[in-house]
Structure 1
Amino acid sequence: MKLQEFKKLLSASQPPQDFPLPLQALWYEAKGDWHHAHHLAQSAGDKAGAWVHAYLHRKEGDLSNAAYWYSRAGQTPPQSPLATEWEDITQALLQQHT
């Protein structure tokens, strides 16, 4: 699936249930439900979940917590705008999902 296709799914009431938790978290975050996204990312228990978790804390403004989760994910904290990071993470996870 491509990023544009994922974005079209944002018009639905729920994300596809066959999506891994980190992708579902990104879907909920894009819909404005940070808390549900955070719960899903935290529940994932893998590096992809840690990466989304890091992004969510960066968006929240909790940069020290975000740094911890970027480290757990094996990622460098980005300097890009949040919207760009969301797209980058989503594209990377979509590629892993296919």
Structure 2
Amino acid sequence: MLNPPKTTDEIVSHLFSRSTPPPLEPGTKVYAPELTKSIAGLKEHMYVIAALHLANDDIHHCHLIAQDNEGDPTANMLHATLHRREGDYWNSKYWWSNVRSHPLIPSTSNAKSFVDSCEAVRKSKGDDSKLRERQWDELKKIVEWIRENYKS
């Protein structure tokens, strides 16, 4: 990519134009490494930046922000989601327990059940396409909601 996207709208458009949902667990492979600096340099609320890192499969940079803001329901939700995406299922469920209440998550028991489903498909090496689609919808909603509710 010659000129990586620079604005929040351009970055969001680029991240969500993928032809297939991202893996449940990206490991250490960031989707678009050239966006890392652009995302970090945005003049946006830190949760917008964290959510964009998460959508870019950049678990590390999302984790730095979520961990620094423990106790806030949105930071805890990001923390729970990123741990699920890195395959740290027990830790993900721990963070879902700390979310308690969030407008995006009507039931933390449903969120924990999704963690269990991700863990089960990983263990069985089964078809994860439906879970990947659900996760992709979830990531889109997280980014959209955080952008609407956390203005810089």
1:42 CA drift (Å): 1.0
> Per-residue displacement from partner, 1:9-61 (whole Å, max 9, x unpaired)?
758542323x2222211212233321111111111231111110110011111
RMSD over aligned CA atoms reads: 2.6
Partner of 1:35: 60
Question: Aligned partners of 1:41, 1:84: CA distance in 2, in Å?
Answer: 20
1:79-94 to structure 2, matched below 5 A, reads: 79=114, 81-94=134-147
Q: Show structure 2 runs of 5+ residues with no match.
A: 1-7, 16-33, 115-130
Superposition TM-score, scaled by structure 2 size: 0.52
Name the CA shift for 1:24/1:72 in 2 (closer, same or farther; >3 Å): same
- Contact 2:66 / 2:76 at 8 angstroms: preserved in 1? yes
Equivalent pairs counted in the alignment come to 94
Q: Which one has the bigger helix percentage?
A: 1
Question: Aligned partners of 1:43, 1:29: CA distance in 2, in Å?
Answer: 15
Question: Aligned partners of 1:39, 1:57: CA distance in 2, in Å?
Answer: 12
Partner of 1:21: 46
**Aligned AA (1:97):** Y
- Contact 1:25 / 1:36 at 8 angstroms: preserved in 2? yes
Question: Aligned partners of 1:52, 1:92: CA distance in 2, in Å?
Answer: 12
Larger radius of gyration: 2
Question: Aligned partners of 2:45, 2:99: CA distance in 1, in Å?
Answer: 16
Q: Show structure 1 runs of 5+ residues with no match.
A: none
